[in-house]
Each structure stands twice: as C-alpha cells, then as structure tokens.
Structure 1
Amino acid sequence: MPTTRKASKPSSDTQRAVLRSLSQQVAAELIDRPAVWLRDNPHLAARTDGDRYNARELVANVLATQPPAELPDGMLEAVRQVVECVYPDGNRFDVALAVVESVEKRFGNAGLAAVGAALLRHLREWNELDPWRPPSLPSETEFVAEAVEKAKAESKERHRTLAEGWEATEAGRLVYVCPHCKRHRFGRSWNPPPIPTGYAEHEHTMTCDGCRSKGRL
C-alpha cells in the first residue's frame, strides 16, 4: 500500500517572499478592492519590480487613507465636548496643533488614529489615578447644625468686635483709617501707619484732610 507523503510546509522566508511579491489579483483581494483600483491608485499600490505588490506596504498605505468614521451626531457631540475639556498644558493650542498636524501630514488618518489612541490611554491612566467620586453632601440635620454654629460664631465675633470697639472708644484707643493713604486720625492729626499697639481700627473708614483736598472722597 503506497504511503501518503505530507506536503512540506513552506519556510518563513518563503512566506515572507510571497507576501513581498503578490500578483495584482491577490493584492486586490487582500485589501478588498477591485484590481482596477490598484491601477487607478499607483501611488498607494506599493508596486515592486515586475508589477508585483508588497503586502505590508500596500496594507499600510490603504489604512493611512481610510476616511474617518462617520460618528452619529449624538456620539460626535459627546466626543467634541470631551476634547474641548482636555486642554493642552498651559493652553498652548498652537503647539498642540503643530504636533498633531505634523503627525497627520506624515501618517495620514492612521496617524490621527494613533493620536486618538494616545488620548484614550492618557484618559484611562488619569481615571485610574484619580477616579471621579460624587461629592459627599451633608445631611439636612448636619447642614442646619453647621449653619447654626456658623451663625453663632459670626454673632459672637460681631459682639466681641463691638465690645472691643466701645471699650477702645471709651479709652480713646479707636482710630479712623483713611482708605487712600492709610493714615489714621489721632486727635487733630493724621499719622502714617502702622496703628500704635493697643489701638483698634474703626470698622468704617474716613478720608483724611490731605486726600480730601486732592478730591478724594
């Protein structure tokens, strides 16, 4: 009984050689185009000597000329809003534009896809490092209690200020300060800052005689 001999498997070098020298029909089938497309686009066909085609170069050239995906309006609007939120560092839009345009000029749409992939990777990294968390809002009871404590503290501070002000007035240690030159009134004179130790500044200001004479009120 004759033995069946298995066909020998082509070597890797042989397979690479085949991919570097495809016929026009095989090359067209590889990229799902009619053969006439290869003839009409010689600048993309990666043709080698003898009207053969390099598969690797041909696929790369075709991918670089792929038009952008036609996103639905809703998805496109969401993408635009996301991109508008991701501002370049320091708002140097001219630098960002120059970099992306240089990638597009050299690699076409495949380069823009690489930019999109880099942006996606960046967003994923930042989301992992600093994921968004909804703010924790105080309960109604906590909110009311916090507001009451704040009002109490403000009232206490107000009463303390008033008490100190009246005490300073009674002792002759409350002074008015000019809002323009910052001099303080002391009896008949307006003295330069600082206010002497032990004296308090009145909560209202008063324009000094010198500033008033210059038309400042």
Structure 2
Amino acid sequence: MPKTTEAPKPSGGHTADLESLTQQQAAWLIGKPTSWLRDRADLDGRRPDGKYNARDLVRAFLADEKSRLEPAEVPEPDLQAMVQTCGHLEDTHRSIGIQILESIQARFGAAGLARAGEILLRSLKWDHARWGDQPSHRPRPKLTEAEVRAKVLADLEERVADRLREEEERESRQLGRVVEQCPDCRRVLWVLEWRKMVPPAGYLIDEIECDDCLVKKFPPRLPA
C-alpha cells in the first residue's frame, strides 16, 4: 500500500491566521458589516498593513459596546425613588441610595444601571440649575410633641434674653453709661483718659483700641 505524505501545515499555524485577519474576516468575527469596521479605524487591533489581530480587536470591540450600552426600561417608581434620594445624599440617605441602585442592578443588570445613571445625572443638573450649590444639611429625626414643646420654649427664652440685652444696651446708651475699653491693654477710656481701671458696674463696654496700642501695631513711617 503506497505511503501517503502529510500536507505541510502553514507557517505559524492557526495562531498566525488569527493575528492577521482580513477586514472581511474581522467584520464577520464581531458580527458587523465591513463598512462599519472600515469607519471605525480608531478600534485597537488593526495592524499597519491593514490586517487585524483577532484578540485585540475583540477586546476593543467589547469595550466599545459596553460604553455604548443601551439603557434599560426601568420602572418609573424606581427612578422616582432614586431622584428623591438624590436630593439628600447625606449620611442617612446614602444607604437608601445604595439599596435602590443595587435593586435596579439585580433586576436589570448593567443596562439598568446605565438608565439609572442617566436619570441621576439629569436630576443633579436640574437641581443645580434651580438651586445652585446649597450648604450641606443633615435630615433630622422626627421630634415628639414633648421635644417640640421643649425646643419652642428654649427658642422663646433665647429670644427674650436677646430682647432684654437689647433693651439694656439701649437704656445704657441713652443714659450715657457706656465706656470704651482697649481689647489689647485692657485700659478704659474714662473722662478722656485711658486708665488702668475696672469698668464701673452697670456700664456698657465698647471695645476700641487705644491710641498707644494702635501706634504699636501701625508705627508711623518717617520721611525718607
């Protein structure tokens, strides 16, 4: 029986073919028309000679597809809950936001997160256009009736104390019971003299720097 000879394998074998795909082969591999691949010259995997490296091309194609993921149709109640949470991204609301996003991710996958991210960005832009950057605030827990009464009473007492201080100050100024005291040397301006003394009882004190302390802080410049 005549002995048959084995056909020689192409140089480099199968790996060499995958590293040197034609444009038609590369387009078939990723399921796109040749024209699409020709217009996407920015994708990695294309060699200087116009051939394609299959591994690099597939990696670049998958990354590109992931970045262009179509958002899923997420139920509006889920999106509304996320929008409301977006306005209170403080300590007590971060866990709620995490729960909402994890729920969307579990039910709708990456496409659901893409949709959530789109709505979240729109919500932030909308709020910023209306309100700008607001100071941070922490939502307070609901108070009991007793706590509300105590708070109102404390606020009222503080307002009464402020009003009494205002009345005392007004009366002192009307009666001339006001002295000026230097905050640095603590001397008191009494009868047009800065004296080392304790301000008299019942007098309102205005803090004003004396002439000597001002000169020490801002010495006069001598003419050149």
Normalising by structure 2, report the TM-score: 0.36
Q: Normalising by the residue count of structure 1, what TM-score does the alignment of the two structures yield?
A: 0.37
